[in-house]
Chains A and B, each alone.
Chain A
Amino acid sequence: MTENLKIIEIEVLRYNPESDQEPHLEVYSVPFSDDMSVLQGVQYIKDNFDGSLTFRWSCRMAICGSCGMMINGIPKLSCETFLRDYYPDRIRVEAMAHFPIEKDLVVDLSGFIEKLESIQPYIIPKEPRSLDQGEYIQSPKQFNDYIQFTSCINCTLCYAACPQFGLNPDFIGPGAIALLHRYNMDSRDGAAAERMELVASEEGVFNCSAVGYCSEVCPKHVDPANAVNINKTNAAKDYFLRFLSPKGGAK
């Protein structure tokens, strides 16, 4: 695999908080073979040209969710994006959009993690069940209601695709709302009402203007836009039902 190596130019957005005022582009000429991913391209740079180039990565098989980057302006997992598809043009690699840049291609994810923690992403049982009673029974329909929304790998590409998150970093955002929806839709869970306050809050679903790009870039076909928009309907329904209920609209 080392013979007939072609050379591709990779332009990387660099930012070292300890020496740079702002990010700048640097270009590297990287020899590559057809099976090399963009991740392997930046690894090559780190191993051979500049050990300080910084990025996250681990599994190499698009399941750990570490290696999201903007590749020619599009949010992608760099491990499953291949250099051959860009050659002979120059390829530009940047940190995921809309997040603060920590260093080079690494973004600050602490905000996302807080959001994920805020949505009560765990089963709050509708009917408690002891272990001796065995598993909960779920019909194929009940299973299909939520399974798609379990596939999120927390890569946050959907946030890099969401201009509303860019404009308002407090927006809970597509990934976390998709996870919230996953638990709401699970027949074992009974806490949809508890989660509603957050759904309808100022940080909630109504920040979404249905751009839909989040679902477009999702590497696992979770369709977070769908989750967000279904919850707009749910929140609206909830609001009016509460309004009509005997106790009135006050919460």
Chain B
Amino acid sequence: MSKRRPYVRSMEGWWKKNPYFVEYMIHESTALFVAGYAFVLLVGLIRLGQGEAAWNGWLEAMQSPLSLIFHLVFLVAIAYHTYTWFKIMPITMPPIIVGGKRVGPGVITGSGLLAAVGVSLVMLVLVFWFGG
């Protein structure tokens, strides 16, 4: 009779055991903020469909002090999500070959972040241009 008795360790609280996993969990949970804000915008769209009064009410609600704090929190969370999203981007895509050499992970992450910052700036400019 075999005396083997392999011991299986519990996975409970696994994500607290390694800083890398903690970062991963924060990254994953900040995705909720992305989804959450998409929901906010969706509500805005619905209000727009319900006529001018409803739309203006929604706009007003967006400008309340509570909403501003709420936006600030969302900004931080979504910025973090963006940063970590591009950080893992190199491992999620097929190799890009430029001039016979493989593009390094730093370049991919860097260009991704640069693009995100760029698009955000363009949005800001557009908002000021047409919104102001």
Verify whether A and B have any Cβ pair under 8 Å: yes
Query: Chain A residues in contact with chain B, CB under 8 A?
Result: 15, 17-18, 22-23, 73-74, 97-98, 100-102, 108, 140-141, 144, 163, 166-167, 209-213, 215-216, 223, 225-226, 229-230, 232-233
Besides A73-B17, A98-B11, A210-B91, 12 other CB < 8 A contacts? A17-B3, A22-B7, A23-B7, A74-B18, A100-B7, A144-B97, A213-B24, A223-B91, A225-B88, A229-B92, A230-B93, A233-B94
Distance, CA A144 to CA B28, complexed state (A):
33
Distance, CA A101 to CA B10, complexed state (A):
12
A166 partner, pick from B14, B91, B93, beta carbons under 8 A: B14
Measured CB to CB, the closest approach of chain A to B123, in angstroms, equals 27
Query: Chain B residues in contact with chain A, CB under 8 A?
Result: 3-9, 11, 14-15, 17-18, 20-21, 24, 28, 88, 90-95, 97, 100, 102
A-B pair number, CB within 8 angstroms:
72
Closest CB pairs A-B (n = 4): A100-B6, A17-B5, A225-B91, A229-B92
With A74-B18, A211-B21, A213-B21 known as contacts, the answer to whether A108 contacts B6 (CB < 8 A) is: yes
B11 partner, pick from A17, A101, A163, beta carbons under 8 A: A163
Name the residue on A nearest B10 (C-beta): A166
B4 partner, pick from A17, A74, A223, A226, beta carbons under 8 A: A17
A-side binding surface: helix, strand, loop or mixed?
mixed
Distance, CA A201 to CA B88, complexed state (A):
24
